[in-house]
Amino acid sequence: MATLPNASPRPASPLPAPPDTTMSVGLRIAGVLVDSGVLTAEQLALASRIHKKVAASRTLSSVLIELKLATEAQIRGALRTGKVEAPLGEVLVELGRLEPHELQLALAQQREHPQTPIEDILVDNHFVNAADVVAAQADLLDLTPVFADTMAFEVPLLKRAPISTYKANGFVPVRREGERTLVVFADPANKQQLELARKHFGNDLIVGIGARKSVMAAIGRAEKELVASVAAAPQVIDGGGAVALVNGVLDAALTSRVSDIHFEPGRERLRIRFRQDGVMVLHDDVPNDKAVAMIGRIKVMAGADIAERRRHQDGRIQYDTSRGTVDIRVSIYATIHGEKVVMRLLNNRDTLLTIRDIGMAPRMLEALQRDALDAPSGVVMVTGPTGSGKTTTLYAAVNYLNDANTSIITAEDPVEYMIDGISQCSINPKINVSYAETLKHIVRQDPDVIVIGEIRDQFSAEVAINAALTGHKVLTTFHTEDSIGGLIRLLNMNIEAFLISSTVVSVIAQRLVRRVCPHCAEKHVLTPNELARLGYQPADAAGLTFARGTGCPACRHIGYKGRVAVFEVLVLNETVRDALLSRKTAYEIRRVCVEASGLVTLIEDGIVKAAAGLTSFEELIRQLPRLSRPRPVSELHRLLGVNA
Ligand SMILES: [Zn+2]
């Protein structure tokens, strides 16, 4: 990182001078604001008193802004005076762009990799976005921030120096501003590089600062653009390098465990976020002039109507990578700020698992196989919200049933994994292969097992029930909170209780929780308050111990790595069927299931997995419904056949 110019002495002020680096960044900024007359000493004293009370959650600068004693622009102006000598990380915390504990994690990571600049660590961990880092660095050095990821080039300007000079020195011209030229530098403190740039672009440079990675990537794009301009295609199809930008986002997503990419238009910028291990993380944001070209490019790739911007659309992309072709589902949704695009990367998730590998406890798996999958007919439903791993479990069940003597046919929207030996159909309304049409034909194909991707309405529920009544085994998914919720929802779809009780053999509910990183896990003994939040009487579960990740390089200082599935398997025995037939309430059906059918609930399975050190208290609270009191862990171990 660039070194900072020495602070110049300040005139007398109510605060100790000269700048005292033991003083907090907030106080140093406030000192400059007092010196420049933005703030009176009395106002600062007031803000400091308030700040003391909220120091755990607020910075002094944010208190000043909330009290309307200073604006963000004035605070940034104070940084630009060069009188607030402070490390970048602390400035980002003061500006409210970074959490203090994230800074601690980043500093810990830097101690292990002293060569890596702190800004790279912060951005790579998604603690802050690259634009905020560049803006803060530019403030500290009083330079122009340049977001090189998304900048456009002026080809005649690029040609004024050889591309090898840009590559070797980490700078590249951005644009003319009147008589002057804006040049972005990865390291504006390097005097030789500044001199070299002046030779090519004149003495009166506007010095810009950009993130090193972005500047080097921009130089790569500049090279391509120069080659393209030599090839001289007169028509500019690729406005502002949109092809390279979109491919860059896709490539970044495909090299990590990303399931979805969100392009979210805002008033001024397009935010790009990834869903990774089930959690949204910021990837980048780009100004709107680039956004329009990027969204246009995606629409071309997805085969959507480019001219249409006011209606929702969808499409598909077959994206070729070195590892093979990736199927991408694209949904385009018209919002007030423009089109929001979500890309679902279909083959980028976990590979097809066997039923033994999905993480079900031994007794639970036994019951599922014996009472549901091996039953000659009946409906098996996998329920849970989007992103709960339903599809993985559904496919594992299909995999289990798939053998030479069984005919399996599917109606999926869309096919997410291809499995040899079964007949899969992807719904495609554009060519009139609708869900309803497909389900009408599916039974006529003489199948043993029918896989209905999802029960989404009364019609698909009736198809599933009717197929089971005529002796088929039906596997399907359903969007409900828990297993009993699945039964109740069918009742609410006007399916007769006796039809449900005579066809549904099992309902599996599930969630995915993050797995505690095994490299930095430490013991977490639950407090009485935490036990109470799980639904325990503190005395009944005293000493219950989970695990918690403290953050290490292996988990990129997040404390979690990968995910674990948590299950609830309801098998409908006589007692449960009776409860259903007599239209008992969800609460009563749940009680009957737990007491008479050995149901282990989602929260109970989660507690057993957390007690084994697989996941954390926070994940259980965040992800699992807590509808009834959990039983003690020792009893759950016995019910699940888990050795403590
Ligand atoms: Zn770790």
Q: pLDDT by residue (tens digit) across 530-575?
A: 999 999 988 889 899 999 999 888 887 889 988 899 999 999 999 9
Q: Please give the residue that has the higher pLDDT: either 352 or 460.
A: 460
Q: How far is the CA of 544 from the centre of ligand 1 (A)?
A: 22
CA-based radius of gyration for the chain: 30
Cβ(452)–Cβ(473) below 8 Å: no
Q: How far is the CA of 562 from the centre of ligand 1 (A)?
A: 11
- Sheet with 279-287: list strands edge to edge: 279-287, 269-276, 258-265, 338-345, 324-335, 313-321
Ligand 1 mean position to 120 CA, how many Å?
Answer: 19
For the stretch 376-394, pLDDT in tens is 999 999 999 888 989 889 9
Q: Rounded CA gap, 50 and 48, in Å?
A: 5
Burial status of residue 283 (CB atoms within 10 A of its CB: 0-12, 13-18, 19 or more): buried
Distance, in Å, from the CA atom of 527 to the CA atom of 533, rounded to the nearest integer, reads: 10
Please report the pLDDT score of residue 20 as a whole number: 54
Q: How far is the C-alpha of 216 from the C-alpha of 195, rounded, in Å?
A: 19
- Rounded Cα distance, 429 and 436, in Å: 10
Q: Give the SS3 label for residue 432.
A: coil
Residue 55 CA: distances (Å) to CA of 74, 88, 566: 21, 20, 38
Q: If you measure from the C-alpha of residue 9 to the centroid of ligand 1, how many angstroms do you get, rounded to a whole number?
A: 45
For residue 67, pLDDT beyond 70: yes
CATH architecture group of domain 240-345: 2-Layer Sandwich (3.30)
Q: What is the CATH number of domain 144-234?
A: 3.30.300.160
With 0-12 / 13-18 / 19 or more C-beta atoms within 10 angstroms meaning exposed / middle / buried, residue 345 is: buried
What is the Å distance from ligand 1's center to 561 Cα?
Answer: 7
Rounded distance from Cα 633 to ligand 1 centre (Å) = 26
How many Å lie between the centroid of ligand 1 and the Cα of residue 548?
A: 10
Distance from Cα 516 to the centre of ligand 1, integer Å: 8
Q: Residue 17 pLDDT > 50, yes or no? A: no
For residue 83, count CB atoms less than 10 angstroms from its CB and return exposed for 0-12, middle for 13-18, buried for 19 or more: buried
pLDDT at 74: 92
Mean pLDDT computed over 445-455: 91
Residue found by looking up tokens 């106080």 in the block: 27
Residue with the larger pLDDT of the pair 463 and 230: 463
Cα 359 to ligand 1 centroid, rounded to whole Å: 21
CA of 96 to the centre of ligand 1 (A): 26
Q: Are 344 and 329 in contact (CB under 8 A)?
A: yes
Average pLDDT over residues 28-56: 90
Residue 341: strand, helix, or coil: strand
Q: For residue 329, how many other CB atoms are within 10 A of its CB?
A: 18
How far, in Å, is the centroid of ligand 1 from the Cα of 535?
Answer: 29
Residue 234 pLDDT > 80, yes or no?
A: no
Q: Which of 109-118, 189-198, 600-609 has the highest mean pLDDT?
A: 600-609
How many A from CA of 121 to the centre of ligand 1? 15
Distance (Å, whole) CA 499 – CA 490 = 10
Q: How far is the CA of 109 from the centre of ligand 1 (A)?
A: 11
Give distance in angstroms: CA of 408 to centre of ligand 1. 42
Please give the distance, rounded to the nearest whole angstrom, from the Cα atom of residue 554 to the centre of ligand 1.
Answer: 5
Q: Is the pLDDT of residue 6 over 60?
A: no
CA of 76 to the centre of ligand 1 (A): 35
Domain boundaries, the chain: 25-112, 144-234, 240-345, 355-640
* Contacts (Cβ under 8 Å, ≥6 apart) of 372: 378, 380, 505, 506, 569, 571
Q: How far apart are CA 302 and CA 320, in angstroms?
A: 13
Q: Is domain 355-640 in CATH 3.20.20.10, yes or no?
A: no
Question: What are the C-alpha distances in Å from 224 to residues 163, 221, 238, 240, 553?
Answer: 10, 5, 12, 12, 35
The string over 92-131, giving b where at least 16 C-beta atoms fall within 10 Å of a residue's C-beta and e elsewhere, is: bbbbebbeeebbebbeebbeeeeeebbbbbbbebbbbbbb
